[in-house]
Amino acid sequence: MSSKIRIAVLGATGSIGKSSLDIISRDTEKFEVVLLASRSNSDTLDELSKQYPNAVCVSAQKDGKKKLLSSIAESKPDITINGISGAAGLEPSIAAINAGSNLALANKETIVMAGKYVLQLAKEKNTNIIPVDSEHSAIFHLLKRENIVHEFSRNEHEKNKISEIILTASGGPFRNYSLEKLRNVTVQDALCHPTWNMGQKITIDSASMANKGLEIIEACLFFNMLPEKIKVAIHPQSIVHSMIRLCNGVIYAQMSKPDMRHPIHDAIYWPLTAPSSLEPVDFDNLTLEFSKPDTEKFPMLRLAREAAKNGALFPCAYNAANEIAVAAFMENKIGFLDIPRITESVLQEDFSGDCMNLETILNADAKARLIGLSLF
């Protein structure tokens, strides 16, 4: 039996997947890739299967979801990196936790759809969920250094120690656009992100600021914080990944170059702080700017706060409505400003219900999609 750390990479052919394999390949003495999964049976997956002959390769489309979920258990990973995009990432996250694997979680939808459920499950299975989303990774590691973990935040003393979480946002390509100009933006315009190089869905979400909306919800659920304690600051350089303000007024920030390999590195070595050969921030010629987000121009921020306040299955509905709207926008079926319009209408429906029950969660996701589709 090898003593290497066994890693499953879900969404191996995507942006997070590729960055993960880059980090893993820098330390083959320590890590062993045991499972690679993607949606399609693409040339990229074929190529990866040659590079990692000992890893099981699964395509959800060709082999089916059931096979994907069973391979997670069968490959016995110590760490599962979930870089699947969208709601499709939820059940694989649950399968990883059920298999007793730690979860390095880039798939924010897992937390947005079912945060309370998966955090409780992880507690029962004695596994850890380590965020990879750069903002939440920053907060997670800052809180760890302050000896505050999200479980502890249920303790009143520890909870009061953090007065605010400040999520940074690049502001996306349309930061300086007028509302009028936003009306006519194209898919190509929305796909030009100024600082991060990511998959298409999250890039569109960054342009509409739905990504920050999802991240407000993710932060509330992951760190057990009220939505009003989660602030957003526009920071176009994407060097400060997030900040925490403690009760003494002092702010701690985490900085690195905008490169997802940093939070992936931190997640797979966690709880160690391991040396890395990634390029450091150069302070010799650096300007950092911060400003307030415009919620009039970017209503997805407001809608996310409302969903977070309503709780229950509203966050799940927010995600589902946005997902189908983004897919339609990418197919040129609707305009850019229809994304918040559709999401807002979906959220007017009733999404109260049990957020600790997987079936109700999946039903809410399906219901929101159906309502959303009727609004095109």
Using CB under 5 A, list all residues that contact Mg ion.
133-135
Instruction: Find the binder of ligand NDP among 48, 57, 106, 143 (CB under 6 A).
Output: 106
- Rounded CA separation 196/193 (Å): 6
Which residue, judged by CB position, is nearest to Mg ion in the bound state? 133
Question: Smaller CB distance to ligand NDP: residue 109 or 266?
Answer: 109
153 binds, among Mg ion, ligand NDP, none (CB under 5 to 8 A by kind): none
Residue 315 lies near ligand NDP (rule: CB under 6 A): no
Q: What CA–CA distances, in Å, run from 327 to 181, 220, 227?
A: 21, 26, 27
- DSSP β-bridge partners for residue 102: 79
Stretch that binds ligand NDP, among 71-79, 147-155, 195-203, 312-320 (CB under 6 A): 195-203
Of 240, 65, 246, 87, the closest CA to residue 169 belongs to 240
Minimal distance, residue 337 CB to Mg ion, in Å: 23
Of 6-25, binders to ligand NDP (CB under 6 A) are 11-17
Instruction: Find the binder of ligand NDP among 32, 48, 79, 83 (CB under 6 A).
Output: 83
Residue 202 lies near ligand NDP (rule: CB under 6 A): yes
Instruction: Find the binder of ligand NDP among 194, 199, 227, 311 (CB under 6 A).
Output: 199
Residue 104 lies near ligand NDP (rule: CB under 6 A): no
* 279 within 8 A of 256, measured Cβ to Cβ: no
Strand 251-255 and strand 240-246: the pairing is antiparallel
- Rounded CA separation 59/57 (Å): 7
Question: Smaller CB distance to ligand NDP: residue 40 or 155?
Answer: 40
- Rounded CA separation 148/142 (Å): 9
For 202, list phi and psi in degrees, rounded to 5. -70, -25
- Rounded CA separation 105/268 (Å): 10
Contacts with ligand NDP by CB under 6 A lie at: 11-17, 37-40, 42, 60, 83-85, 88-89, 106-109, 133, 196, 198-200, 202, 260
